[in-house]
Amino acid sequence: MRTVHSLRELRTILRGYRQQGKTIGLVPTMGNLHEGHISLVRKAAESADVVVTSIFVNPMQFGAGEDLDKYPRTLAEDQEQLEAAGNTLVFAPGVEEIYPEGLAKQTQVVVPEVSDGHCGASRPGHFEGVATVVTMLFNMVQPDLAVFGEKDFQQLAVIRKMVRDLMMPVEVVGAPTVREDDGLAKSSRNGYLSAAERKIAPAVHRTLQETAQAVAEGRTDFPALEIEARDKLSKAGMRPDYFNIVNSQTLKPATEDDTEITLLAAAFLGTTRLIDNLSITR
């Protein structure tokens, strides 16, 4: 496995692979990798000859007061995990390589509608940062496919719409959420939780499951279910950001006629913001 830091190095190596007729898969990450990330690498390897994992803490997708400065940079540990998983190439650029003229002068990609609401409402500008850097990575790597985790459900929807609308020749693959034994979705931010908070954290997934069961049993009073779910999160010791029941395709509020539904949840536990989701078919 090789690690490169510049676009020139990246393109030189990938040109060689393409000349050999090899297919290329991309796994965009911000590093501080865990089992969930590694599952994306393995999924990419199922369909691509070459797997490129990018490690870049993207400042454009962090808002004021968020954890950009303290976000863990663990390149050496990440490299060890990726090599063990059979990753081919690591692209770990610096900020100056991605944004040579600075953020203020950077062209941005805006994906309308699916970026609105949910995390988009709580983190203004976040999805513009995600869409911009993913577009750049697609242009730099020119992958045949790219793998993203379903834990970030709205992010995956944003990327799929962006690829569709801009007619990008990239297959976007969603990979199932990897969980701890108690149901907590694996996340780099779980490391911020105290021991006491870690015991409370599975309440997010438990609330999703209980709400999904209520829907499966025939309840369609979705606004009332959302209120009940937020109340459960509060009683567990969290500060709910949102709990929304939506159409899985549009991410608009679900109606009685919708058959594909996704439950989206975000809550603060101490200073840590946890997100999760659960999709169901009625």
Q: What is the largest CA-CA distance in the chain?
A: 58
Question: What residues are labeled active site?
Answer: 37
Torsion of CA 94, 96, 99, 103, to 10 degrees: 110
Cβ atoms of residues 13 and 4 within 8 Å:
yes
Alpha carbon 190 to its chain centroid, in Å, reads: 14
CB-based burial label for 42 (10 Å; 0-12, 13-18, 19+): middle
∠ at Cα 225 (220, 227), nearest 5°?
145
Residue matched to tokens 């950001």: 241
149 — phi, psi (to 5°)?
-80, 145
CB neighbours of residue 80 within 10 Å: 13
